[in-house]
Amino acid sequence: MSFQVLDSILEGRRSQPHQLIEVLQDIQEQYGYISEGAMKTVSNELGVPLMEVYRVASFYKAFSLKPRGKNVLTLCTGTACHVRGAKLLLNQVAGQLGVDSGEMTPDGLFTFENVNCVGACAIGPVVTENGKYHHHMNPGKLRRLIESLRKTEEEPSHAKDQKR
């Protein structure tokens, strides 16, 4: 983790315990997760006991304490998506990637998560891929989305191999 980025996140917020969540939000955004080291630094700099930093970081769903995959797929499991078959999508992604919600695939390519509502209920079921919304999803579309993401990830390495 680069110290400079963390330093700029903490800038102007040092010794202000009430900034804890905002600081953690920025760390999550920049690094994709909150490491033990980051928690220790935040604890020292804001003057919040490490236990409290951990309590807050583990309480809110927005924070991940483990590194996340290169591609983050978020499945909306809100009521509207649920009645339109979001469960099928959960089965699809879990079956295809072989990991449970919140976990990263062993190759580090994917993490899938579920969220209780992204507020796009009229066009559900919704899946977001690294923040990009995909609407009216079904298992087939999701399968193709995952396949195409995997393909894009593999392509550059193929190209490299050919050059060699």
Partner 1 sequence: MPKIKNVKELQSVRNKLLNDRKKFTATLTVCGGTGCRASRSRAVIDALRKELSGQGLEEKVYLRATGCHGFCEQGPIAVIEPGNIFYCHVSPDDAREIIAKTVLQHKIIKRLLYIDPVTGKSIRTEAQIPFYRAQDRQLLSQNKQVDPRSIEDYIATGGYTALAKTLSGILPDKVIHEVKASGLRGRGGGGFPTGRKWAECREAPGDEKYVICNADEGDPGAYMDRCVLEGNPHLVLEGMMIGAWAVGARQGYIYVRKEYPLALEHARIAVQQAKAFGLLGENILGTSFSFDVEIARGGGAFVCGESTALMASIEGKVGEPRPKDVHTVIDGLWHKPTLLNNVETWANVPAILLNGSARFAAKGSKDSKGTKIIALTGKVKNTGLVEVAMGTSLYTVVFDIGGGAANGKPVKAIQTGGPSGGCLPADKFDIPLDFDVLAEAGSMIGSGGMVVMDEDTCMVDVAKYFLTFLQDESCGKCVPCRLGVDRMLEIITDITEGRGKPEQIGLLEELGQTVSQTALCGLGKTAANPVLSTLRYFREEYETHVNQKQCPAGVCQRLITYAIDPEKCTCCGVCRLACPHQAVRGEKKQIHAIDPVQCQKCGICKSECKFDAIQVN
The position carrying tokens 């593999």 is 154
109 vs 121 by CB, closer to partner 1: 121
Q: How far is the CB of 157 from partner 1 (least distance, A)?
A: 26
Instruction: State the minimum distance, in angstroms, from the CB of residue 80 to partner 1.
Output: 4
CB closer to partner 1 out of 20 and 104 = 20
How near is the Cβ of 121 to partner 1 at its closest, in Å?
A: 4
Residues lying near partner 1 in the complex (CB under 8 A) are found at 17-22, 24-25, 48, 52, 55-56, 59-63, 77-80, 82-85, 87-88, 91-92, 94-96, 115-124, 126, 131, 133-135, 138-140, 143
Q: Are 24 and 50 in contact (CB under 8 A)?
A: no
**Measured between alpha carbons, how far is 162 from 158 in angstroms, rounded to an integer?**
6
Q: Which residues pair with 115 in a beta bridge?
A: 76
Pairing of strands 71-76, 110-115: parallel
Closer to partner 1 by Cβ: residue 56 or 109? 56
- In the chain, the DSSP E strands lie at 71-76, 110-115, 127-129, 132-134
